[in-house]
Amino acid sequence: MSEWFAGIDLGGTSIGAAAATRDGRMLAEETVPTCSHEGPKAVLQRIGDLIDRLSARCGAPPKSIGVGVPGLVDLASGATKFLPNLPTQWRDVPVREVLSRRFCVPIGVLNDCRTATLGELAFGHGRTVRTFALFALGTGVGGGVVIDGRLRLGPLGSAGELGHQTIIPGGPLCGCGNRGCLEAVASGPAITAEGVRLLLSGQAPGLHALVDGEVNRVSPQTIADAATAGDAGSRSIIERTAEYLAVAAANVVTALHPEMIVVAGGVAEMGELLLAPVRRGIRERVRMFPADDVRVEKSQLGDDAGVRGAVALAIQTLESS
Ligand SMILES: [Zn+2]
């Protein structure tokens, strides 16, 4: 059996696992519920069992393991410091140490958005561009920055938290404690909330018709569908989201002059409906140098970004061990 790498994407509701070759070819994948209420010990046991099953299917143990987690990690020890969306918030859970007792291979643990950025670097747009910033728009807004072919981590692994730039001073409260962060105004829930407001106030009749007036069917995707079908209210939501994202992206372009802004996560599925106004918005705001050459593109990894990123982390961890 040829060498393979294990990528684990720990999420609040599910754990994704993948076995892949060095060039990113998927050999096996599996997803299980996190059952986070059972606590860190049981969740880590479940992750270990997942890796065992992948090993059985691949006929050998992995060369290394990468684990993406939704929060802050101590890079040196591989312990989680703060996973806000999991019960007990996983303060000082020694993830690497626990898994090392079971698997005698190098193990990397990293924030999930930085992990997805590593995946984009290894298997996506990073194959053709050297400097890019990634915005991951989903339930939250995360990100990562690659400069000259290297993921910028900073001392805490937190460099690239692009979703927590202030976009509206004094704006809506963000989960991080600040007000007016990009996450507070352009995440999936923020977009959905605005859709519900317009639907209930009669300002999005096309959206109302599309979801039969059922507010729990309003989502970034149904809002995008209504906008495409000509609903002016839905279109205004997307234009506003694009403007917020353009402000954040223009700030990054001014600071780094990257070759590309990569947009990932569920909200990115809107595609050109969102990306075209973001391109315009960046050009309007970056005036100190021509920014026409800065591309704005959807991630090339799609639904697999989490586990593919974790595979990239596993490979990088082996190479640096
Ligand atoms: Zn924030």
Name the one residue in this structure whose structure tokens are 């591309």. Answer: 295
Same-domain status, 282 and 310: no
**Distance in Å, CA 179 to ligand 1 centroid:** 7
Q: What percent of the chain has pLDDT over 70?
A: 100
Same-domain status, 295 and 161: yes
Same-domain status, 149 and 272: yes
Residue 116's pLDDT is what?
Answer: 96
The verdict on residue 177 lying in a domain is: yes
CA 230 from chain centre, in angstroms, equals 30
**Distance in Å, CA 178 to ligand 1 centroid:** 5
**Distance in Å, CA 89 to ligand 1 centroid:** 17
CA 210 vs CA 28, 132, 223: distances in Å:
38, 37, 9
Average pLDDT estimate for 290-296: 96
**Distance in Å, CA 180 to ligand 1 centroid:** 7
Rounded CA-CA distance 239/59 in Å is 50
The verdict on residue 287 lying in a domain is: yes
pLDDT digits (tens, 9 = 90+) for 18-35: 999 999 999 999 999 999
DSSP annotation of 174 reads P
- pLDDT bracket for residue 1 (50, 70, 90): low
Same-domain status, 191 and 251: yes
The verdict on residue 118 lying in a domain is: no
Same-domain status, 145 and 287: yes
**Distance in Å, CA 235 to ligand 1 centroid:** 25
**Distance in Å, CA 50 to ligand 1 centroid:** 33
Domains in the chain, number: 2
CATH number of residue 17's parent domain: 3.30.420.40
**Distance in Å, CA 174 to ligand 1 centroid:** 5
Q: Note the pTM of the prediction, 2 decimals.
A: 0.94
Does 94 have pLDDT greater than 90?
yes
Rounded CA-CA distance 109/7 in Å is 10
Same-domain status, 308 and 236: no
The verdict on residue 71 lying in a domain is: yes
Same-domain status, 250 and 311: no
Same-domain status, 176 and 289: yes
Same-domain status, 188 and 294: yes
- Phi-psi domain of 173 (left: phi exceeds 0; alpha: psi -120 through 50; beta: other): beta
What string of DSSP letters covers 43-74?
HHHHHHHHHHHHHHHHTS--S-EEEEESSEEE
- pLDDT bracket for residue 2 (50, 70, 90): confident
The verdict on residue 171 lying in a domain is: yes
Same-domain status, 293 and 169: yes
Rounded CA-CA distance 109/41 in Å is 16
Same-domain status, 280 and 189: yes
The verdict on residue 146 lying in a domain is: yes
Residue 197's pLDDT is what?
Answer: 98
Residue 303's pLDDT is what?
Answer: 83
Same-domain status, 228 and 287: yes
Print the domain residue range for 33: 5-112+304-319
pLDDT digits (tens, 9 = 90+) for 189-229: 999 999 999 999 999 999 999 999 999 999 999 999 999 99
**Distance in Å, CA 70 to ligand 1 centroid:** 15
The verdict on residue 120 lying in a domain is: no
The verdict on residue 197 lying in a domain is: yes
Does 304 have pLDDT greater than 90?
no
Type of residue found at 160: G
